[in-house]
Amino acid sequence: MHNNYHFLNYLSGELDNKLNGTVISQCFSQSRDELVIQFETLNNPFFIKASLVPTFTCLSFPKEFYRAKKNSIDLFNPIIGLKVKSVYQFRNERSFLLNLTHDFSLLFKMHGNRSNIILFEKEEVSELFKKNIPLDQQIKLTFLDRDIDWSYETFVKHHENPEKLYFTFGKLIWQYLESLEFQNKHVEQKWELICDIRKAFDAGRFYITTWKGATVLSLLKIGTIQQEFSEPIKAISEFYYTFTQVYVLQQEKGKLTSTINSRIQSSRNYIKKSFAKLEELTKEDNYKNWADIVMANLHVIQPGIEKVKLHDFYNNNELVEIKLKKDLNAQKNAELFYKKSKNQNIELTFLKEAIQKKEKDIQELETQLCTIEQFNDLKAFRQFASAIKTDNSDISEERHLPYHEFLFGGYRIWVGKNAQANDELTQRLSFKEDLWLHAKDVTGSHVLIKYQAGKNFPKDVIERAAQLAAYNSKRRNETLCPVIVTPKKFVRKKKGDPAGAVVIEREDIIMVEPKL
């Protein structure tokens, strides 16, 4: 209600008493939506600060204001040195006018997110503070006064839709009347409420109150009253300070809450995917059993065979078919299975540790959310928020899996996140049978297509992985990109080479379009 006509009527009246005869010495802006005007009086300077932020437009009257040496610009230069003759409040309009000498005047149009301050010379628009409201160029001062018929007879004609009749009441007043079930009352009862509202307006008392969860300046004694005033300048100045403190606190709390909720959701998604990977790896974890079975049957396995059926002593001695490398003897095949099992265990351990870390992070973040709700003081909250950033500085740096996973055609495709992740992906988390891809002759991600026992890599899966390798390289913006494709066993790293650098002993090249 701080921009309501009924309050502005009081405010402009007090301004008329204070500013009549004063001289404007400065008019400047230090931010896009703020204008400060300094008036010289017989005693201390008088300041008007107009904050015209679209989400919160409000005037205030600080006792002191120190202009910054930088990022400050003079505005409305023609009025500097001019004297204030009077302050005029337009009837039933959320605007008032500073009448100045030399036929200049300054209009304060307090229309919410369309508020503006407009300089007139001889009643013609000369300059706009906010130039992004072009319709303000067409304002005519002679048309701003408006009349309202307050008679009972007129009210009776419009009692079912009084908002258009009493357009100066504003949102707060109609909310208040709605809370009294205004529309359900008889005509006479409605009229009594309208008269009560007008009496409250005439009382000249101003309240900073909490109404429907918001801090408001009201001429009605409603909600939870925080402060009461008899002077409009003091009332709106204190309201501006109170509201901005509450508003900024709510904004900053909301921003931090949103960030923490995003972290929680991200962690939950990570845990969900990681459990799915754990389940998949656990189902495929037969390598150690196969190795043990092969070692127990070295004497019966003939050299050069590609598969063998043996009794599985881990599963009631049922026959299990085990595929072998025909160019390796039985013991070497068992060693290969042991190595694959070890690599799987490394990945399993890595996933379990990461899940535990994420679960702990979620608990801490949920505790922080509860703490945020308890703050009512901006300074204390900012200290807490600063500590949060310090305490959780490792959240963005915590150890994730070194790859992004894509699923295509039933195959898992892993794409390294950076140079260090490429090393970990290729050296620690790959099998010899995995297919390795990389954009040719440029830096980029290492890409793996995970091997599936007994299956050849489908052509469309290889092409999809190659597209990802091309996209995650410096050839991303090229029409076609050559991509190296080779089994992982032909990729090795020399001692002392930088992160991500490898030697490729055998390769094929395919051309693909880079695509995520």
Give per-residue pLDDT as tens, 240-274: 988 888 778 888 888 999 999 998 998 898 888 88
pLDDT at 395 over 50: no
How far apart are alpha carbons 360 and 68 in whole angstroms?
A: 46
**Cβ–Cβ under 8 Å, residues 412 and 405:** yes
Distance (Å, whole) CA 132 – CA 114: 10
Confidence of residue 285 (pLDDT cuts 50, 70, 90): low
pLDDT over threshold 50, residue 394: no
Kindly report which listed range (175-189, 203-217, 328-342, 478-492) carries the lowest average pLDDT score. 328-342
Angle (CA) 425-429-435 rounded to 5° is: 75
Whole-number Å distance between alpha carbons of 338 and 105: 90
Q: What is the pTM of this model?
A: 0.56
Please provide the distance, in angstroms rounded to a whole number, between the alpha carbons at the two ends of the chain.
52
CA–CA gap between residue 110 and residue 16 (Å, rounded): 17
Q: Residue 201 above 80 pLDDT?
A: yes
Which is higher by pLDDT, 338 or 109?
Answer: 109
Residue indicated by tokens 């030697």: 503
Mean pLDDT score, 358-372: 90
Residues above pLDDT 70, as percent of the chain? 97
3-state secondary structure of 87: strand
Tell me, what's the pLDDT at 455?
A: 85
Tokens of 304: 């050069």
Average pLDDT over residues 375-394: 72
Distance CA 158, CA 42 (A): 50
Mean pLDDT is lowest, of 82-86, 386-390, 401-405, 409-413, for 386-390
- The domains of the chain, with CATH numbers, are 5-143 (2.30.310.10), 152-230 (no CATH), 253-391 (1.10.287), 403-512 (no CATH)
Q: Each residue of 445-467: pLDDT tens digit?
A: 999 999 887 789 999 999 999 99
Structure token pair of residue 368:
């922080």
Query: What is the structure's pLDDT at 402?
Result: 86
- Contact in structure between 416 and 403 (CB atoms under 8 Å): yes
* pLDDT band (50, 70, 90) for residue 389: low
Q: In the block, which residue shows the tokens 């790896």?
A: 281
Model confidence pLDDT, tens digit, residues 26-60:
999 998 899 999 999 988 999 999 999 888 899 99
Give the Cα-Cα-Cα angle 446, 288, 491 (nearest 5 degrees).
25
pLDDT, position 398: 41
Q: Which residue has the tokens 């009246």?
A: 13
Model confidence at 93: pLDDT above 90: yes
Instruction: Note the pLDDT of residue 400.
Output: 61
Q: Would you say 400 and 438 are in contact if contact means Cβ atoms under 8 Å apart?
A: no
The Cα-based distances of 494 to 207, 398, 402, 484, 497 in angstroms read 77, 28, 21, 19, 6
Q: Give the per-residue pLDDT at 351.
A: 80
Give me the amino acid identity at 49. K
Percent of the chain scored above 90 by pLDDT? 58
* Interatomic CA distance for residues 124 and 126, integer angstroms: 6
Mean pLDDT for the chain overall: 89
Per-residue model confidence as pLDDT tens digits over 211-246 = 888 889 999 999 999 999 999 999 999 999 888 887
Of 9-18, 135-144, 357-366, least confident by mean pLDDT is 357-366
Handedness of CA 259, 262, 263, 264 (dihedral sign): positive
pLDDT at residue 500 in the model? 83
